[in-house]
Structure 1
Amino acid sequence: MNIDTILYDFHQTNCIGEETVNHINTDQDLRTRLLNYFRQKQDRAFALNLLDTFIGIRKQPRNNMPAEDLMLACYILGLHGQIEDCLKIWEAKSIDFDTHCGLDIQLVMFGGVNETINFLATQTTDPAQEALKYIKRCSACGDFDGLAEYFSPQTEPWFI
């Protein structure tokens, strides 16, 4: 399965099918190609749908969605640079105890530490305020000191 086929199918149906999910979950080469593709091109509708699909699978009682797959989808969405997407990534981090512990908080910060904090400070929802408190604690502990390298195009994230 290649990226052009995946994107074509998505834009025809507005959903990401089980076959595509299985390929993304198991094909290391495809994961790397997806990362490289979205580092160069934008398709936010696909990126949002991919993360929503993975979140939906993770929320199922007998889910088989590892945090690493969620992280890939979060990273791809973050590459689109829409600061409001930090809340969608926070949603993924907040699915359950394992994702809260296992999904890197750095993914929420794709827009920059100060920019994300400033954005969240303008939001009044409970999830935004929870994210803001958590991020401030993480920032004080130095969790974002290597953020530039984390998102560097020369670095392949460990979860790929």
Structure 2
Amino acid sequence: MDQLEQVIDTYGLIPQIEHIHTIRTLLQEECANSQREDHEYMRLLCVQLFSLGQLEDTRLIWQAKRLSMDSFVMIDVQLLCGAGLEQTKLYLLDIDEEEATAELAYLEKCESAGDFEDFSKEEWIEQAKLYYV
């Protein structure tokens, strides 16, 4: 059983909220893992956090997205907005840090480009279920 199967088997694609700290820790560990062979496992952890919809997870997902060109491509911009696009933008606006400002600018750029047109968290999760399960 590989990491993806193990995490899905243990926590499910849409985990229970009581597992959020474990999933955050797994994502932090994967971000620090310089030996990773691909970014699929990292993306799955981001999907799980996205599904739980906690505002503060946008920062961790942004960190994962910015690790490399591969992770930037693999981790969809929509995954930054599990709590909703507007709520995430307002959250980032209140944080006086360079990375939060960069993430907000990126979200606004992607929104202007149409990346959030017809965005629905529920539909996004349904697509993830087809992909992972």
TM-score under structure 1 length normalisation: 0.70
What's the counterpart of residue 26 of structure 2? 50
Partner of 1:147: 120
Q: In the alignment, residue 97 of structure 2 is paired with which amino acid?
A: T
Whole-angstrom distance in 1 between the partners of 2:130 and 2:115: 16
Give % identity: 25
Q: Which residue of 2 aligns with 1:6?
A: none
Segments of 5+ residues of structure 2 without an aligned counterpart are: none
Is residue 156 of structure 1 aligned with residue 119 of structure 2? Answer: no
Residue 60 of structure 2 corresponds to residue 91 of structure 1: no
* Unmatched tracts of structure 1, length 5 or more: 2-22
Q: State which structure, 1 or 2, has the greater radius of gyration over its C-alpha atoms.
A: 1
1:80 corresponds to which of 52, 65, 89: 52
C-alpha RMSD of the superposition: 2.3
Q: Is the 8 A contact 1:121 1:132 kept in 2?
A: yes
* Count of equivalent residues: 130
User: 1:35 aligned to 2:9?
Assistant: no
Q: Indicate the structure whose relative CO is greater, using CA pairs within 8 Å and at least 6 residues apart.
A: 2
Alpha-carbon spacing, 1:32–1:138, altered in 2? closer, same or farther (3 Å): same
**Aligned letter for 2:56?**
E
